[in-house]
Amino acid sequence: MKIDILTLFPESFAPFEESIIQRARKKGAIQINVIDIRTFSKDKHKKCDDTPFGGGAGMLMSVQPVYDAVASVKKKSSKVIYPSPSGQVFSSQMAKELAKQKHLIFICGHYEGIDQRLIDIFDAQEISIGDYVLTGGEIPTMAIVDALSRFVPGVISEESLQEESFSNGLLEHPQYTRPRVFQGREVPKVLLSGNHQKIKEFQLQESLKKTKKVRPDLLKGEK
Ligand SMILES: C[S@@+](CC[C@H](N)C(=O)[O-])C[C@H]1O[C@@H](n2cnc3c(N)ncnc32)[C@H](O)[C@@H]1O
């Protein structure tokens, strides 16, 4: 899986030099390239913003550098993603689907975003990470790339994926580690019993209890 990330702020992607994503990059399970949109600007001052037609507050990203940056990496089979508050809300299922693609291109918006024609020309999928507005598309891109990378074969173990929140439509059950008693709070006894059947039943009950309390919409199949 190859991922090209187009941004005005390439240094924002330092987190991809760490931990699981960095290991996946090193062993070749995923290839991530961060590309500076500004280097494509034909403006003599490398300007990358412009005023929106029709007026209104703020600036838009200039069309030319974004277009040229996408065109420099796009192949026939590439899928273009534009993280945007007005996109479909991201989910584990979407992450799983995106992980099947060969080549993804992310356009990180800034200011008031990008020209609609870029979305149309590249048939970009707009994806929102929630009903709020961030200052730029770098954090949404990081969230989406991180989540989908987990479903790329070889990035994490199959077993870890199966026991995760949303894998069976529920939130994960609470987890505990040593010590058995911490600040007077004991680990549930069944987890120390060694009885795997009982442990599984307990964890499923806890999972259901938590989902009912925190995300009842998941139980009603609303999400
Ligand atoms: C300040 S926002 C632009 C908001 C836009 N004018 C609107 O009202 O929908 C700048 C950029 O941040 C990114 N962004 C902000 N919030 C986001 C969200 N909830 N999900 C995905 N991307 C988001 C997008 O790439 C967007 O182009």
In the prediction, which pLDDT does 154 show? 93
**Residue 216: CB atoms within 10 Å:** 10
pLDDT of residue 96 exceeding 70, the answer is yes
pLDDT of residue 39 exceeding 80, the answer is yes
- Answer yes or no: same fold for 2-158 and 164-219: no
Instruction: Find out whether the beta carbon of 113 lies less than 6 Å from any atom of ligand 1.
Output: yes
In the prediction, which pLDDT does 223 show? 61
In the prediction, which pLDDT does 55 show? 95
Instruction: Find out whether the beta carbon of 73 lies less than 6 Å from any atom of ligand 1.
Output: no
Instruction: Find out whether the beta carbon of 129 lies less than 6 Å from any atom of ligand 1.
Output: yes
CATH topology of domain 2-158: Alpha/beta knot (3.40.1280)
**Residue 87: CB atoms within 10 Å:** 17
Residue range 111-118: mean pLDDT, rounded: 98
Domain residue extents for the chain: 2-158, 164-219
Count CA atoms closer than 13 A to 36's CA, side-chain side. Answer: 9
Homologous superfamily (CATH) for 164-219:
tRNA(m1g37)methyltransferase, domain 2 (1.10.1270.20)
Give the residue, out of 133, 138, 145, 146, with the most ligand 1 atoms within 8 A of its beta carbon, to mutate for a pocket test: 133
Give the residue, out of 110, 128, 134, 144, with the most ligand 1 atoms within 8 A of its beta carbon, to mutate for a pocket test: 134
Instruction: Find out whether the beta carbon of 136 lies less than 6 Å from any atom of ligand 1.
Output: yes
Measured CA to CA in angstroms, residue 158 lies from 9, 107, 145, 154 at distances of 34, 30, 18, 9
In the prediction, which pLDDT does 115 show? 98
**Could you tell me the end-to-end alpha-carbon distance of the chain, in angstroms, rounded to an integer?**
27
Instruction: Find out whether the beta carbon of 140 lies less than 6 Å from any atom of ligand 1.
Output: yes
CA–centroid distance, residue 114 to ligand 1 (Å):
10
In the prediction, which pLDDT does 160 show? 84
Tell which residue, 106, 97, 100, has the closest CA to residue 141: 106
Q: Tokens 């990059």 label which residue? A: 25
User: Which atom of ligand 1 is found nearest the CA of 136?
Assistant: 12
In the prediction, which pLDDT does 163 show? 81
Beta bridge partners of 125: 81
- Range scoring the smallest mean pLDDT among 64-68, 98-102, 161-165, 203-207: 161-165
The sheet carrying 2-7 orders its strands as 31-36, 2-7, 103-107, 79-89, 125-128
Q: Whose CA is nearest to atom 23 of ligand 1?
A: 84
In the prediction, which pLDDT does 92 show? 96
pLDDT of residue 122 exceeding 80, the answer is yes
**Residue 177: CB atoms within 10 Å:** 7
H/E stretch holding 34:
strand 31-36
Question: How far is it, in rounded angstroms, from Cα 182 to Cα 168?
Answer: 30
CA–centroid distance, residue 110 to ligand 1 (Å):
7
